[in-house]
Structure 1
Amino acid sequence: MEKVVLQKTILIGASPERIWEILVLDAYTRVWLAEFREGSFAESNWEPGSHIRFEDGNGNGMIGFIREMIPGRVLTFEYTGLLNAGLEDLTSAEALAVRNTRESYRLTAEGDATRLTIAMDLPDQYFSLFNSLWDNALTKIKALAED
């Protein structure tokens, strides 16, 4: 299965610190992750090397760990598998397809604004879907940060 990199960037009229809050605080992540699936949330202690779960509210989602974290600048996850009905799946074909894929967020100050760049490795058959979902999520992140 071929993997591709989806990359998106958006200029946001807010500080890197404000955008960081939107990316990691539960009250905000639930809002913008809903663009991927209503009821979605992230669960982590937000420390480098720690476990992270992205769940849809029904026990399904993705699992991994925080590979790199520089608050206000860089956040990178590496996925290790899936969640299916609340159970970790590390061995199915679907889980193996996402293993070792990464998702990163980079914040770069530009005057009074900040450029947020996301990059996500994914199987090529999901590119079109995530391309539009990320457009919606980035618009939501921008609105939350500029509010």
Structure 2
Amino acid sequence: MLQTIAFSTTIEAPKEKVWKALWEDENYRNWTSVFTEGSHFETDWKEGGKILFLDGKGEGMYSKIDKMVTNELMAFQHLGMFKDGKEQPLDEQTKSWAGSKEIYTLTENEGNTLLEVKLDTVPGFDGYFNETFPKALKKVKELSES
């Protein structure tokens, strides 16, 4: 049973700058390092296309870009694990979160941007995200405002 948790921060920068802080490769590697060192992605950034979220060893998960509106919305659907250079068959643990969503929304108001993140997680993982996501958003804020 998935539960949805949400985080937000107000950033003193236009949404275009926040978008770059989130999704440009070097910036992404910076702010996602709080989750796992070496975090990076592989994708062509096409809506409906695949994206791999990987660690420094090239392992992680494969997902789909559900919706993308540049500078406003990025929505992922997480599908399964990626290991040894390929998508892994769904096991019981993966089935518990397969299909979960992760959604980033940017709303600009008078030069400031409200960044909101909603993500589905399995019970027990919310504590991890409640600890790490605020640290990640702090890094996004720093990257955006510099």
TM more than 0.5: yes
Give the TM bin, normalised by the shorter chain: over 0.9
Shift, 1:86, TM fit:
3.4
Give yes or no for the alignment of 1:118 onto 2:117. yes
In 2, distance between residues paired with 1:139 and 1:15? Answer: 16
In 1, distance between residues paired with 2:138 and 2:131? Answer: 11
In 2, distance between residues paired with 1:22 and 1:89? Answer: 30
In 2, distance between residues paired with 1:126 and 1:90? Answer: 22
Give yes or no for the alignment of 1:4 onto 2:3. yes
Contact persistence 1:67–1:77 (CA under 8 A): yes
Shift, 1:47, TM fit:
1.4
In 1, distance between residues paired with 2:59 and 2:129? Answer: 17
Q: Which residue of 1 aligns with 2:62?
A: 63
Write the deviation string for residues 27-53 of structure 1: whole angstroms up to 9, x where unpaired: 110001101001111111111011001
In 1, distance between residues paired with 2:28 and 2:41? Answer: 7
39-48 vs 86-95, greater mean Cα deviation: 86-95
In 2, distance between residues paired with 1:130 and 1:51? Answer: 23
Q: Which residue of 2 aligns with 1:28?
A: 27
5+ long unaligned stretches in structure 1: none
CA RMSD of aligned residues (A): 1.1
Give aligned-pair identity as a percent: 29
Q: TM-score, normalised by structure 2?
A: 0.95
Q: TM-score, normalised by structure 1?
A: 0.95
Q: Which residue of 2 aligns with 1:141?
A: 140
5+ long unaligned stretches in structure 2: none
Contact persistence 1:9–1:116 (CA under 8 A): yes
